[in-house]
Each structure stands twice: as C-alpha cells, then as structure tokens.
Amino acid sequence: MESNQRLLVISPHLDDAVLSCGLLLAAHPGTVVCTVFTAPPAENITTDWDRAAGFADAFEAMRTRQAEDREALGLLSALPVHLLFRDAQYHASPGADELLTALSQIVAHAKPTRVLMPLGLFHSDHVMVANACLALMRRQPATRFIAYEDVPYRRMSGVVQERLCDLAKRGYAADAPHALDVPGTTQHERMKRAALDAYRSQLRAFGPEGQASLFSPERYWQLARDESSRHPQSA
C-alpha cells in the first residue's frame, strides 16, 4: 500500500479492530480506529457477558474496556476514537440515521483514503455498523471501502459466503483488494499478540477454547457499487 494512504478502521466493539485487523494496524502506524459501541447503559445493569469477563456491572465493564482499548491500540501506534453508543446487550442501540451521521463526521475529520469496515457477520451490532458503512460508502464515492472478515464470527460455517451473497443481491460487489499490505512478519505478529493480550477482560470471557480461534489470518474484501446489478437495494 502506498505510504501516503490514510486508514480509518471502523470497529463495532472495543477489540474488534485488533482481532480482525491487528496485523494491518501494526504495519500502518497512525491509523485511526473508531469504535462505535463504548458507552455504558443509562442505568447500571449486569449482563452475562460482563460477568464472564470478570466485571461486577456494566459501568465497571465499559470503563475498564475503554482503558484496555487505549492500551492495545497504543501498542500498535493506532489512534483511538470512542463513539458513545450502547451495544445490543444494553438494550439501547442507536438509530440508523444517528449512527450514519456520527460516522460521517468521523470520516470528514479523518479524511481517510481507505475506510476499513466489518463485513457484518452474525452479531447484530456488527451488522448494524456494516450497514451504516455501506450507506456511508454511497455518500463517499471517492473513498475506497474495504470490508474485513469479523473475528471470531468468520469461523462459523457459511456465514461469510452468505453475507457476500446478500451484498451482491443489494448491489455491492466484493473482490480481493489488490493493494492492501498485510504483512505476516514475526515482528507484526508479536505486536498483534501483545495488543490482543491487552484485552484481558475479553480474553477471560472467551475462555481457553474461544481464545484458540482468535489469532487467525486476516482477510479483506474490496467493496464497490455494482451498477450493473438488476436489483440494487439501499443498505
């Protein structure tokens, strides 16, 4: 990838960017990582996932997870931006227009040449963010959008191909990018593993079996509007 490229990674949760794009981040210091769901609920609650991660309640969880994210991205020389939306487990997901407006503002400020977005696999938060990015892509025709395969959900049988078929039906073409530098050097692998280790609470929730699937090859898809599609649909 050309040295003058400015990357913006859109991450649903506080770990998704490193899980899915950690090698890319290691190779491109200065990348902006915008995480969408980083706010606690309006009133404190306790969820099964937060308990599994070792937290007493949601307020403690989000405070600690933000700190973990800053530590992890710091190890990769990436720049964190935290949007204050609440994820699905806190029962207060943002509206589509509200999310699109916030992401538009981030893009306007960062002025990226490439936006990396989740492919949008399985998890409702991931699908919501991916669909908002698709809408943003239509507003930003001069900016290249690249979808990353969401870890760990990409390991679920058939989910990647199902999503690609869905995108094709909606008028989006997905191809392997030709100019994306994702090195597999030992140095970058060490950097990614160190960054993943910073998400201590999330590794605890994944457990030993789940952790084994987290460090896997990164895969990306170049997205474009397919104007030849007979049935293009809005995101």
* Helical pair 200-211 and 186-197, crossing angle rounded to 10 deg: 120
Q: Which DSSP letter does residue 155 get?
A: G
Region 17-44: mean pLDDT is 95
Please, where are the H alpha helices in the chain? Answer: 16-27, 48-52, 58-75, 96-110, 124-139, 159-169, 186-197, 200-211
**What mean pLDDT is predicted for residues 93-104?**
94
Indicate whether 230 pLDDT > 50.
no
Q: Residues 6 or more apart from 11 whose CB is under 8 A from it? A: 17, 33, 34, 35, 36, 118
- Give the pLDDT band of residue 233 (cuts 50, 70, 90): very low
Average pLDDT over residues 207-221: 83
Q: Is the pTM of this model over 0.75?
A: yes
Whole-number percent of the chain with pLDDT over 90:
76
Residues of the chain by 3-state class (helix, strand, coil), percent to 5:
45, 15, 40
What pLDDT does residue 229 have?
54
Structural domains for the chain = 7-113+123-225 (3.40.50.10320)
Token pair for residue 178? Answer: 């030709």
Tokens of 181: 């530098």
